[in-house]
Amino acid sequence: MSRYWSPFIRALTPYVPGEQPVNSGLVKLNTNENPYAPSPKVLKAVRSHADETLRLYPDPEMKALKEAIAAYYGLASSQVFVGNGSDEILGLAFLTFFKQTRPILFPDITYSFYRVYCDIFQIKATQIPLSKTFDIQLVDYQIPNGGIIFPNPNAPTGKLLPLSAIKMLVQKNSASVVIIDEAYIDFGGESAVSLIQAFPNILVVQTLSKSRSLAGLRVGMAMGHADLIQGLDRSKNSFNSYPLDRLAAVGAVAAIKDDAYFQDTRHRIMKTRDQTVAKLKTMGFEISASAANFIFIRHKQVGAGTLFNRLRDKGILVRYFDKPRINDYLRVTIGTSTDMEAFFAALEQILP
């Protein structure tokens, strides 16, 4: 604390990202990174643009990237926004759409950055409890609100809502914006992008960090009615006009265009996930169906805090949230088959 901090900065509790050890040799199953390398076409594009043009500002409109995303999803460029990871986009979206008289709504158990954005931008929020089985019950969201946001599939549970349920919510909630945070949608869900043409109040946020193996390049995207995208542009141009560098932009274009690689790697992860779930069930874990590249698991006998520490001792890093309702659970990212074998081997040593 410093006397020079503004009063409200003193009161903040910032987001705490998962540990990012440098060159640790740990099996890293803690931050939902993709275990496969980015498409070779991404690396080639980045290398070939590491040239003297880096002296010039990037295109602040990110025209080429917006066009690639629009073409991929059958949208107009005016329906696409891009940012420095989906976190930056979410931050701008909170500011643009959620600073309203009524409180916004999001689940009590969800991506913990939502609460932080509310603090920093002084936005009122009501957290709606998940059901006992950790399901989002959309009937609970049919109350007056300044906006609604949740991830689909939800984090850290991995639980998915069907597109039909999202559609009904967006339809019934026409007075405010519904943001669907689809960071993990490519691992088994159906994107709500298809609702954009029909509904002016849905914003779909995605990231290249997970399903496109580009956490290190910091690119996210949002899709919605052109009016919503224009609002995001206003906020962006009031904070940082050039959040994507030239290399991130060309790498992202190559990633979006290499659909064959994307399909192959995401299906490999889904297959490993299903194999992992089957194996863990034989080891005494309770696991609900996950449509993400992680699973949320609880052991019938051994506590999650103990498991977290003992796994770490054996070189396996997973995520443990020491918070009410979920402190019996671990969130485990799906790695390669080899990563998961190492995880199973460590568990076999730890479990009774």
Kindly report the CA angle at 182 between 175 and 305, in degrees rounded to 5? 115
Task: Tell the residue number behind the tokens 């006998």, with chain if given.
Answer: 301
Residue 110 lies near its own copies (rule: CB under 8 A): no
> In whole angstroms, how far apart are CA 72 and each of 48, 69, 136?
23, 5, 29
Number of residues near its own copies (by CB under 8 A):
87
CB of 197 to its own copies, least distance (A): 16
Among 68, 217, 223, 297, binds its own copies (CB under 8 A): 217
Q: Which is nearer to its own copies, 134 or 184 (CB)?
A: 184
Burial 6-37 (b: 16+ CB within 10 A, else e): eeeeeeeeeeeeeeeeeeeeebbbbbbbbbee
Q: Which is nearer to its own copies, 36 or 287 (CB)?
A: 36
Q: Which is nearer to its own copies, 57 or 132 (CB)?
A: 57
Question: Which is nearest to 255 in space by CA: 215, 293, 294?
Answer: 215
**Residue window 188-207: x/- pattern of binding to its own copies, with contact defined by CB under 8 A:** ------------xx------
Among 105, 125, 177, 180, binds its own copies (CB under 8 A): 177
Q: Which is nearer to its own copies, 2 or 282 (CB)?
A: 2
**Which residues in 235-294 contact its own copies (CB under 8 A)?**
235-248, 251
Q: Which is nearer to its own copies, 66 or 225 (CB)?
A: 225
- DSSP string spanning 48-115? HT-SGGGGSPP-TT-HHHHHHHHHHHT--GGGEEEESHHHHHHHHHHHHHS-SSSPEEEESSS-THHH
* Long-range interactions of 69-74: CB distance < 8 A, separation 24+: 69/221, 69/223, 69/256, 72/256, 72/257, 72/259, 73/193, 73/223
143's tokens: 């109350």
CB of 156 to its own copies, least distance (A): 17
Stretch that binds its own copies, among 127-135, 222-230, 280-288, 318-326 (CB under 8 A): 222-230
Q: Which is nearer to its own copies, 57 or 139 (CB)?
A: 57
Among 131, 230, 275, 327, binds its own copies (CB under 8 A): 230
Residue type at 130 in one-letter notation: L
Among 73, 77, 79, 97, binds its own copies (CB under 8 A): 97
CB of 113 to its own copies, least distance (A): 8
Kindly report the CA angle at 11 between 10 and 13, in degrees rounded to 5? 105
Q: Which is nearer to its own copies, 96 or 157 (CB)?
A: 96
CB of 116 to its own copies, least distance (A): 5
CB of 107 to its own copies, least distance (A): 20
**Which residues in 10-69 contact its own copies (CB under 8 A)?**
12, 14-17, 20, 22, 28, 31, 33-38, 42-43, 46-47, 50-60, 63
Stretch that binds its own copies, among 67-75, 231-239, 279-287, 338-346 (CB under 8 A): 231-239
Q: How far apart are CA 216 and CA 218, in angstroms?
A: 6
